[in-house]
Amino acid sequence: MISFEPKQLFSHSIQNIIFFSALIFSGNFISLPLFLTSTFGYLLLCVLSSGIIIFAVSTMNADREQKSFLNIFLSRNVILCLLIILSVMGIFFSRNSFLGFLALLYTLIALSHDLFVKDLVIIDVLGTGIEFSLKAALGAAMINIQISPWLIICTFLLALLVSLGQRRNEITFVNADNQVPRKVLTLYTPQLLDQMIAVVTSSTILGYSLYTISTHRLKFIHSAYLVYTIPFVLYGIMRFIYLVYTKTMKRNIEFELLMDKPLLADVVIWLGVLICIILFKTD
């Protein structure tokens, strides 16, 4: 069997926390039934995403060994992963068809990304952004609330920024250590990534800022004070960019970011302020 290192399992569980974003921004985190439902959905997503990755790794390893298509799909690893994936999707479909459709779409895109898209320049980071957007959408569908376009936009942009930052960090320190880079990294240049990061950074900050003053957020957050969370988001993004250019984050970027105390403190304070604003509705 293929096994994950603890850091890899931890990395995927951290990525999937985006599943809770709809629960928090809708103010439904104070409802115990919805919180438990969302937690159950999060665990299902962790199982599904792990199954997808193990399936992709098993398939790629078998392909390197030049096994036939039939032998690949009859291998123990692949059969087990398919059973896990189909079982989780079955649970999602049993709740409602739209949730099941999102789970199926996420599975197809994630598999395509891991097997084919990850070595295609630019499309690889766009694929990551779409995956994270679908995770956030799954979180909303799990508790039967309307999927906000702002949730999709901001999640997509944030995932895009982190993905680009990871590649920029890898290029910097792979070149410095004379290591062999991943295939897709050879298709990027530092200057290209710098410009992409600048564009996506501006878009992310603008997107979140517009959300705080939009009429759409009034459906769930009846407070004009949400705008005061912008400085925390601004600091968090700037701190991330600082880490990208000054620290070696290798490939377990989620783990490295969580180990940065200033960034972690900023996220905790932002989340605390956000929850207080949602709980004490004053407009």
**Distance from C-alpha of 136 to C-alpha of 150, rounded to nearest angstrom:** 11
Q: Is the pLDDT of residue 62 over 90?
A: no
Q: Would you place residue 7 in the very low, low, confident or very high pLDDT band (cuts 50, 70, 90)?
A: low
pTM of the predicted model over 0.85: yes
pLDDT at 179: 64
Q: Mean pLDDT highest for which of 12-21, 179-188, 246-255?
A: 12-21
* 216-271 per-position pLDDT tens digit: 777 777 778 899 999 999 999 999 999 999 888 765 788 888 889 999 999 999 99
CATH code: domain 1-147 is 1.10.357
* 39-50 per-position pLDDT tens digit: 999 999 999 998
